[in-house]
Structure 1
């Protein structure tokens, strides 16, 4: 079996370069993934930020052990002294259809990105924390050009992102940023410099904690000091499924990626697998946009670290003077479950994963953005690499389909014979005009190379 070259895959060239720089400086996969994830909080704030949450999956080459960490957002209200006010409804257009989201202070859940990055570094990092934060801080001082793919996402999400203080950032002069224009957050460099010196605790029990509480409460939220002080990164169960002789390992996500892989038909040859794949993906159609991003890293020792983070659409509540937009997870309808209570960790579709080959070595480290399309993007990528023998760039960049109820949403260029089989089985076919960020944003490093998703300006860089 072929070994995996050290490298980084991410949804922005600047993010990928941040991770690669840390690898070159002798950092582990964890060091580089944290550096890239923090760079996402500067370069990819349309998708994520320090005010969001996420998950990490780490593969240790020496032992074969896989660990999944949950640093997703938690429900606020432990303090019990504040009832949340009403949320602000915004219409976001996606695929030509309006979708209602809720933002504002009452949509803000307890953020986990700073704590999660800190815990990944504490467990598996080698470089000093300040060195890992440095690339993101440097990006924040100068600003980062926005790629065209991100600008198209902004066009869809501007009603939420450009709310309040976000207007000056994302719609300067009253129009959305376009390809190549500078995305800059005043104050964010200072926040990252402080994070580098003090560590993640600055957000939970340090100087930023009272600012966070006062800002959210002034905007109608219920977040309190006990919510922040009590937040912890959790280690979660690792699910397993077999795919073409390989083993896929990941957390148990809301969309059940690993379970779905386990339901795939035994015969995965094309064109016959289309119906079996559609059956495995059959779901009762969650269809939210989801502002999410991902970084996948492998180091020269064969360790892998995949981190997926999100801001939701962003609450439009910004920490004053710090350039940080807070998450809107309590306004994401598909994440609201009956068992939510103060302190409870919210559910998520995010599923950073690793694939182990028959010899016990790493074959793929991958993750994706895209809310309910995360599962589609990851499974199609794995089928491309592990079953179809495609290189990573081809597997990620080729057309996908995504199933919602009885409708197959499909990108142009998908094999016609497979679509005909789906139509013959009773599925409605909705053709999209081009490759679109709706269909997710997979980034992966593996035996088939490194690649980012062109739908989100992704790149793969090898050491």
Structure 2
């Protein structure tokens, strides 16, 4: 059986290079994934940042064990001394339709990215913490070019991202950033240097914690010192399902990705599988845009680390002079549930996963951006690699369809015979004009190679 080559896949060339650099320096998959995630916080702030949250899945080649860590955001208010004010509604146009989001101080939940990166490194890292943070500091100090696909996302998300202090970052001199322009956050290199020197706790009980509480409360939120000091990374159960004789291992996400894989038809040959796949993917109408990104890493020992992080759309509450935008998760309608109480971890669609071959070896390490389309993107990619025998680049780059209610949203180039079968079975077909970031953003490393999603200008780099 072919061994998975060491490599990194990410949604920005600079992010992938940061991870590969750490692998070259002798780092583990965990070291490289953390370095890449922190690089995202400088290079991919349209999608994520230090003020966001996420999930990690780690596969230990020596033991064959997969571990899932939850460092997503928590509901603030455990201090109990302040009620949050109103949020700020913004319209984000996506696919030609307005999506209503809420931002501002009241939308800020307790961030988990610094704590999550620290815990992944503590458990499975080998290099010194400061060395893992260094590539991100260098990117933040000089700024990073915006890929064209990221600029396209910004076009949709600008009402939130370019709100308040974000205007000078994303629309400098009144002009929205375009592909090739420099994305720069004044002060972010200082914040990352503080993270490197003091460790993740600087965000929870240190100097940055005080600054964060003041910024959020000034903007009408209720985040307090106790919310930050009490935040913990959680280990969450690992679900599993079988696909083409392989075992898929991941957390139980809001979209039930593993359950969906378990519900795929037994015969995965084309074109016959399309109706069963569409039924398994049937969604109940959630189609928020979401700002998310993913990093997938495999090291030379066969260990894998996949980390997905998000900022929501960003609250527009920035840590003054430090270039950090805080998350807007409390303003993400599809994540707001009836059981949200102070201190409770919020739900998420993110699903970093690993796939194990029938022989018990790593076959794929993958994750995706895309909110409610994460499941769609991952399922289609895994079908491409495991059932259709495609290399990773082709599996990720081929046209996808996403199901919302009784409608199949589809990218151009999807096989006509399969679309005809769907239409004949009563599905409504909504043909999109081109490949679009709406349909997710997969990054994956596996036996079929390493690749990032062209919908996000992603790349895959092998050691």
What is aligned with 1:212? 212
What is aligned with 2:373? 373
What is aligned with 2:231? 231
What is aligned with 2:156? 156
What is aligned with 1:189? 189
What is aligned with 1:98? 98
Residues 9-408 of structure 1 aligned to structure 2 (within 5 Å): 9-408=9-408
Shift of 1:174: 1.2
Shift of 1:175: 1.9
Q: Secondary structure at the match of 1:395?
A: helix
- The 1-side partners of 2:271 and 2:287 are apart by 26
Give aligned pairs, total. Answer: 463
Dislocated runs of 4+, deviation >4 Å: none
Stretches of structure 2 that go unaligned for 5 or more consecutive residues are none
Q: 1:234-261, CA deviations, whole angstroms, 9 ceiling, x for partnerless residues?
A: 0000000000000000000000000000
Q: 1:344-363, CA deviations, whole angstroms, 9 ceiling, x for partnerless residues?
A: 00000000000000111000
- The 2-side partners of 1:107 and 1:421 are apart by 43
- The 2-side partners of 1:425 and 1:80 are apart by 54
User: Are 1:439 and 2:435 matched, yes or no?
Assistant: no
- The 1-side partners of 2:387 and 2:364 are apart by 13
Q: 1:19-62, CA deviations, whole angstroms, 9 ceiling, x for partnerless residues?
A: 00000000000000000000000000000000000000000000
What is aligned with 1:448? 448
Q: TM-score, normalised by structure 2?
A: 1.00
Shift of 1:280: 0.4
Q: Secondary structure at the match of 1:101?
A: strand
Shift of 1:5: 0.0
Shift of 1:282: 1.0
- The 2-side partners of 1:213 and 1:424 are apart by 56
Q: 1:95-126, CA deviations, whole angstroms, 9 ceiling, x for partnerless residues?
A: 00111000000000000000000000000000
Q: 1:307-350, CA deviations, whole angstroms, 9 ceiling, x for partnerless residues?
A: 00000000000000110000000000000000000000000000
Q: Which moved more, 1:282-291 or 1:438-447?
A: 282-291
- The 1-side partners of 2:425 and 2:15 are apart by 43
- The 2-side partners of 1:282 and 1:187 are apart by 44
Shift of 1:364: 0.1
Q: 1:51-93, CA deviations, whole angstroms, 9 ceiling, x for partnerless residues?
A: 0000000000000000000000000000000000000000000
- The 1-side partners of 2:408 and 2:237 are apart by 32
- The 2-side partners of 1:165 and 1:370 are apart by 25
Stretches of structure 1 that go unaligned for 5 or more consecutive residues are none
Q: 1:401-450, CA deviations, whole angstroms, 9 ceiling, x for partnerless residues?
A: 00001110000000000000000011110110100000000000000000
Q: Secondary structure at the match of 2:249?
A: strand
- The 1-side partners of 2:177 and 2:272 are apart by 44
Q: TM-score, normalised by structure 1?
A: 1.00
User: Are 1:416 and 2:439 matched, yes or no?
Assistant: no
What is aligned with 1:8? 8
Q: Secondary structure at the match of 2:66?
A: strand
What is aligned with 1:429? 429
Shift of 1:295: 0.1
- The 1-side partners of 2:98 and 2:30 are apart by 39
- The 1-side partners of 2:134 and 2:154 are apart by 27
- The 2-side partners of 1:384 and 1:196 are apart by 40
Q: Secondary structure at the match of 1:461?
A: strand
- The 2-side partners of 1:208 and 1:169 are apart by 21
Task: Please report the RMSD computed on the Cα atoms of aligned residues, expressed in angstroms.
Answer: 0.3
Q: Secondary structure at the match of 2:414?
A: coil
